[in-house]
Amino acid sequence: MWAELLARIYEKELHVAARSEDKIPYTAKDGVFDDHTFEIDWWTNGFYAGLLWQLYGFRPDPLLSSLASAIEQKLDAGFLHAAGMDHDSGFKWLLTANASRILTGASASQNRLLLAANDLAGRFNLAGGFLRAWNDGGDGSKAGVAIIDCMMNLPLLYLASTLTRDPRYREIAVRHATTAAKHFVREDGSCRHIAVFDPATGEFLREEGGQGMGVGSAWTRGQGWAIYGFTLSYLHTGREEFLAAAERVASFFLTHIPKTGLLPVDFLQPYGCDWEDDSAAAIAACGLLELKRATGNKRYADAAEELLAVLAKERCDLASSRDPLLTHCSAAYHDGQHNFALIYGDYFFVEAILKLLHKETFLW
Ligand code: GLY
């Protein structure tokens, strides 16, 4: 089943790539990808290139690599815009520069990775032991803000230590992950989206609701970032406390999946609300498959496969005439729009299927 689905996705994506030249998609309108090039430092601008590279790694086609390389080069403009260089450098450059480094050996790609890693390391708050998430135009209002999504950016730091044989980057990643395990993961295993610290003393001040329903709720994509992100930190460091954090969040996650197998935007959203997030399911599936690799516990792989099977059956658009794959993603609970296409949903869906088939290019 999975090999056949991958073959159909590959065929579709070749058609999509042929008509998507010059685009950096974020979402789609009437089945046609938009182009987010106008905001070159947007956090999702690496995902389409990542998807192209994953498919190229599976079956090389020069169309896939040329489009992905063009996106990587466009992202260079971000290095000249300090206000746009936030903590999402991992999402942006692991899926572009790291992919081309691995698949083509391009030296320019390694250069980009080191520039991005140096910038990310510069966001480390020494007093609080966390990486600052967002910028604030210089008023300091976001200086103490960290978000769970950042766990996915830490592999850029682990990679930088490997590439330079300099432990500084790894140490920063370990310290951020340690702070996150302490202040994001709640007693019941659910995970906060935003933690606010005093940027001068490092004291934990409060949580904020962020892209979930509110304070105390359980934003599904955030749970996915935590499962996958803590597992990645475990795989890079071997530190048991990160594996324990991943398993605690996974345990909460597995007991909250609805009977339909389709994920809401927030596990605590009101009964009857039909807002979904396919991207959360795809991200969590990737994390659960890696957690299975780390622990040997088949339960995680079974849950991942069930999530992916529901997405494949109910939410995957294989028509070559329409650009996106997944149909029901949501960027945030309080946004006006829900149940639409988002490029990172497609990226993680394809990554997860490749993982199942042992055909993934591991970019994290
Ligand atoms: N990293 C932002 C998000 O998950 O929407």
Task: Share the mean pLDDT of the chain.
Answer: 98
How does DSSP assign 14-75, residue by residue? HHHHHH-TT---S-EETTEE---TTSTT-TTTTHHHHHHHHHHHHS--HHHHHHHHHHHHHG
Residue 364 · residue 326 · CB < 8 Å: no
Residue 60: its pLDDT value, please?
98
* The residue to which tokens 């946004």 are assigned: 335
Question: Residues 236-294: pLDDT tens digits?
Answer: 999 999 999 999 999 999 999 999 999 999 999 999 999 999 999 999 999 999 999 99
pLDDT confidence band for 298 (50 / 70 / 90): very high
How does DSSP assign 214-239, residue by residue? STT--BHHHHHHHHHHHHHHHHHH--
pLDDT confidence band for 118 (50 / 70 / 90): very high
Q: How far is CA 241 from CA 181, 285, 338, in A?
A: 8, 21, 35
The alpha helices in the chain, defined as continuous H runs, are 2-19, 47-58, 62-74, 89-93, 99-104, 107-121, 154-164, 168-183, 220-237, 240-256, 278-295, 298-310, 343-356
Residue 181: its pLDDT value, please?
98
Question: Residues 158-180: pLDDT tens digits?
Answer: 999 999 999 999 999 999 999 99
Residue 31: its pLDDT value, please?
98
Residue 325's closest CA among 352, 303, 305, 300?
A: 352
pLDDT confidence band for 123 (50 / 70 / 90): very high
Pairing of strands 145-147, 194-197: antiparallel
Q: Provide, rounded to the nearest whole percent, the portion of the chain with pLDDT above 70.
A: 100
Residue 51: its pLDDT value, please?
98
Q: Name the residue at shortest CA distance from atom 5 of ligand 1.
A: 331
Among 42, 131, 154, 221, the mutation site with the greatest number of ligand 1 atoms within 8 A of its Cβ is 221
Residue 340: its pLDDT value, please?
98
pLDDT confidence band for 67 (50 / 70 / 90): very high
Return the H-helix or E-strand segment holding 176. Answer: helix 168-183
Distance from C-alpha of 299 to C-alpha of 56, rounded to nearest angstrom: 31
CA 332 to ligand 1: nearest atom: 5
Q: Name the residue at shortest CA distance from atom 2 of ligand 1.
A: 149
CA 344 to ligand 1: nearest atom: 4
Q: Where are the domains of the chain?
A: 2-356
| Percent helix, strand and coil across the chain, each to the nearest 5 | 55, 10, 35
Residue 117 · residue 107 · CB < 8 Å: no
Q: Which fold has domain 2-356?
A: Glycosyltransferase (1.50.10)
Residue 342 · residue 329 · CB < 8 Å: yes
The total of other beta-carbon atoms located within 10 Å of residue 181's CB is 21
Name the CA radius of gyration of the chain, rounded: 19
Question: Residues 208-228: pLDDT tens digits?
Answer: 999 999 999 999 999 999 999
The total of other beta-carbon atoms located within 10 Å of residue 236's CB is 21
pLDDT confidence band for 19 (50 / 70 / 90): very high
Among 223, 225, 334, the mutation site with the greatest number of ligand 1 atoms within 8 A of its Cβ is 225
CA 221 to ligand 1: nearest atom: 4
Residue 309: its pLDDT value, please?
98
Residue 343: its pLDDT value, please?
99
Residue 316: its pLDDT value, please?
98
Ligand 1, residues at Cβ distance < 6 Å: 43, 149, 211, 221, 331
**End-to-end Cα distance, the chain:** 26
Distance from C-alpha of 147 to C-alpha of 132, rounded to nearest angstrom: 8
CA 331 to ligand 1: nearest atom: 5
Among 89, 91, 154, 211, the mutation site with the greatest number of ligand 1 atoms within 8 A of its Cβ is 211
Residue 67 · residue 21 · CB < 8 Å: yes
CA 152 to ligand 1: nearest atom: 1
Q: How far is the CA of 149 from the centre of ligand 1 (A)?
A: 6
The total of other beta-carbon atoms located within 10 Å of residue 189's CB is 20
Q: How far is the CA of 360 from the centre of ligand 1 (A)?
A: 23
Q: Name the residue at shortest CA distance from atom 1 of ligand 1.
A: 149
